Structure 1
Amino acid sequence: MHVTADCAGPEGRCFFKTQANLLTPGGPIGLPQDTWARQTITLRSTNRSVWQEAWFSAPAGMPRELKGANHDNVLSKGYQSLSDYQLSITYFGGGPLQRFATDGDSVQTDWVSGRPNLDAGFIVCSNIQAVFGGVNVTTPSACAQTTFN
């Protein structure tokens, strides 16, 4: 599991990307065709007074969603709470690396002022459980943390 995060601009927008893959001696590859997998991505701030609202593409490159969708048997759903935003992505079937990439952006909004919070840090964590060929693998959480430039 790979996770990246970047925050830039006065509008308080942070960007994230996750990538799941199998690592072979020849390098990273996608997952086998008989794969079923569930990925969880959590977006949050270092400041608990920040509201997260996210738009995402699962797989990456598909139209951005706010609540969820089904693109080529990749089902996604967003769940919002008071202090974080969680994505649940379910994959039916394997494929190339691109199928297991998710990207998106989030606006960190201050609860009190209603304006973008440029002082708070942005944290993205993700893990995936994949089942294929009689193997059941769960990755540890991979996280990325950043602040505004």
Structure 2
Amino acid sequence: MTALDAIDRNILRVLRLDARKSNAGIAEEVGLSPSACLRRIRLMEQAGVIRGYTVLLDTASSDAMAVIINISLERQTEDYLDRFEAAVREHPEIRECYLMTGGSDYLLRVEVASSVGFERIHKEILSTLPGVARIHSSFSIRDVLASRKVGRT
């Protein structure tokens, strides 16, 4: 796929706000025919620009708490980073993982139902990840902004 143009970026903006919006609705909003819009979406999916679609849960009603975890590695060599990232990908409990600048090497997000659930993840997963020197965890109190969607559907 060639570089994204303004129409592709507009399609992505619409999908970020509402990935369930119909193709016809997206096409109308970005000024394309439905077939041209769908073709562009499929091309972005095939190229990996769009990696998937997901559901954002209201943690208040799903009995889940988000835990934000900062991980510092013993070393920041390519081998340490690669081994850590490969291990993280093996654990579906880890919802997100970002390589960071600043005070820690990685930021992870997990969702748990209780502190007991987090204790299991900490003991069985986080503390066994290769190269980990330090783990710092923070429990969220509530979601303030989990997406750019305003309001509820």
TM-score for both structures, normalised by structure 1: 0.34
TM-score for both structures, normalised by structure 2: 0.33
Larger radius of gyration: 2
Q: If each structure's strand is expressed as a fraction of its own residues, which one has the higher value?
A: 1
Q: If each structure's helix is expressed as a fraction of its own residues, which one has the higher value?
A: 2
Structure with the greater relative contact order (CA < 8 A, sep ≥ 6): 1 or 2? Answer: 1
